[in-house]
Amino acid sequence: MSTSQFKVLIAGGSIVGLTLALALEKAGIDWELFEKGDIAPQLGASFSLHPPSVRILDQLGVWGDIEKIVIPLEHRQHIDGEGRCFEDSYVLRDIYSIHGRPIVFAERCKVLQIIYNHIQNKDRIHSRTAVSDYEETEDDITITTEDGKSYQGSILVGADGIHSHIRKVMAEKLCSTNPAVAQDLLEGFTSEYNAIFAISRNGMTKPFMPDGTVHNVYYDYYSAVATTGEPGSIFWFLFVKAAKTRYPNCPRFTEADAQNMIDQYGDSTIGPSYTVKDLWETRVKANLVPMEEGVLKQCRNGRVLLMGDSIHKSTINIGLGGNLAYEGIARFTNLLVPLLQTTNSPSISDITELFISFENLHRQRADWVVRLSGQVTRYEAQDTWLLKFASRYIIPWVSDRKKANLYAAFAQGAPWLEYLPLHSKDTSLAGE
């Protein structure tokens, strides 16, 4: 493929930004990436990968390295506020059996580093280089970085997360011509739950929990999850209901705020023999953040497209946010590759049609994932008596195999990279 006249500029060295760069590189499409901080910083906590994401990472040649550091999840116990296990489930093992691909958790910075290691053209990655503005013409787009330099490309992808600067600039450019869309770009997310994301050592003298295990504990208006995703480590989360706020007025928290939450909820049991405080005291890293929710009404304008958390944000109880981001990468590149096979210099009308097609394909899935994730968050936090009743007396009676088959139906709706070979084990997941 000759794409010498077409270039994708990427703002953000996130999971989305780096994976998109690798996907474009594999397709022979020119790109350049700009990250305001360091690549693969020691920030954040864990990252969940589901079978559709694993399939894409395998196509990109990345999964083999990630597989070496993770433990497939198989056993899940659901525990009430009194420490009693009311559902003992192996649905995660059944999902693994059906797809040949596991659900795993990995440390976010390690996943970023592995993806970065697989990128060949690292000279196209500019760390500590924030994009400050962009200007479009009929023929191209030029970005300006905070150090005053300019870079030219065909399109700009904003992969710079929930606090996206590209989204803010887009809103500013739209405010006079389309104020409703501009306002949604600025205020389209809400938050009703706060969460501590953390990584801890799996016990000081003996493990808190076995490898490959997930513990879910259900309290009234708060919940917690702990999982052994890597050897010797526990990835865990404490979710607490709070007052509903709207972005950009969702709260920002300090270490003191996190400590106050632990003081209030630390004695709560998560697994059979340990508490929130036990995990807190063996923590390696931890952050308290609001869990924003929502899908923006529009993710494009001119030559600029937003992707990942900059356009859709889900609560993280079932870990589908990252999977949704990978679906976005697949849908976008699956549209871009055939376009560039017909012309290496698509017009602005071609690009607009591409962006609209992406938006239409991706939105329905994003709406569903964000809605389901929010329902599970409220289900686990016993937000209503009906949800509490369902968790105790309905859902435990649904067989693991039935739940795994329902998940398989969801997974079969996920895209893969159509321009790269598909592993034989993934044909069932792809519905072939």
Question: How is the beta sheet containing 85-89 ordered, strand by strand?
Answer: 85-89, 75-80, 213-218, 222-230, 233-246, 190-201, 283-295, 312-313
pLDDT of residue 44: 67
CA dihedral 321, 324, 329, 331 (to 10 degrees): -170
Tokens of 382: 């016993």
pLDDT of residue 4: 56
Q: Report whether pLDDT(67) > 50.
A: yes
Whether residue 33 contacts residue 124, with contact meaning beta carbons closer than 8 Å, is answered with: yes
Q: Which fold has domain 7-189+294-426?
A: FAD/NAD(P)-binding domain (3.50.50)
Q: Cβ contacts of residue 280 below 8 Å, gap of 6+?
A: 198, 200, 262, 266, 286
SS (H, E, C) 304-328: EEECHHHCEECCCCCCCHHHHHHHH
Reading phi first (left if > 0) and then psi (alpha if -120 to 50, else beta), residue 178 is in beta
Q: Report whether pLDDT(423) > 90.
A: no
Q: Report whether pLDDT(428) > 60.
A: no
223-269 pLDDT per residue, tens: 999 999 899 999 999 999 999 999 999 999 999 999 999 999 999 99
Q: Report whether pLDDT(104) > 70.
A: yes
For Cα atoms 50, 52, 53, give the angle at the middle one, nearest 5 degrees.
65
Query: Which among 96, 134, 151, 218 is annotated as catalytic?
Result: 218
Tokens of 67: 């597989």
Confidence band, pLDDT 50/70/90 cuts, at residue 353: very high
32-52 pLDDT per residue, tens: 999 999 998 776 678 899 999
Chain CA centroid to CA 116, Å: 17
Please return the burial class of 349, using the count of CB atoms within 10 Å of its CB with bins 0-12, 13-18 and 19+.
exposed
Is residue 218 part of the annotated active site? The answer reads yes
Proportion of the chain above pLDDT 90, given as a percent: 91
CA dihedral 104, 107, 110, 116 (to 10 degrees): 70
pLDDT of residue 3: 45
Q: Give the whole-angstrom CA distance, residue 28 versus residue 4.
A: 9
pLDDT of residue 2: 41
Average pLDDT over residues 261-278: 95
126-137 pLDDT per residue, tens: 999 999 999 999
Note the residue count of the chain: 432
- At which residue do the structure tokens 């400590």 appear? 259
- State the number of CA atoms in the 13 A half-sphere of 251 facing the CB: 15
pLDDT of residue 85: 94
3-12 pLDDT per residue, tens: 458 999 999 9
Closest CA to 108 of 40, 53, 46: 46
Q: Report whether pLDDT(272) > 90.
A: no
Q: Give the whole-angstrom CA distance, residue 419 versus residue 329.
A: 13
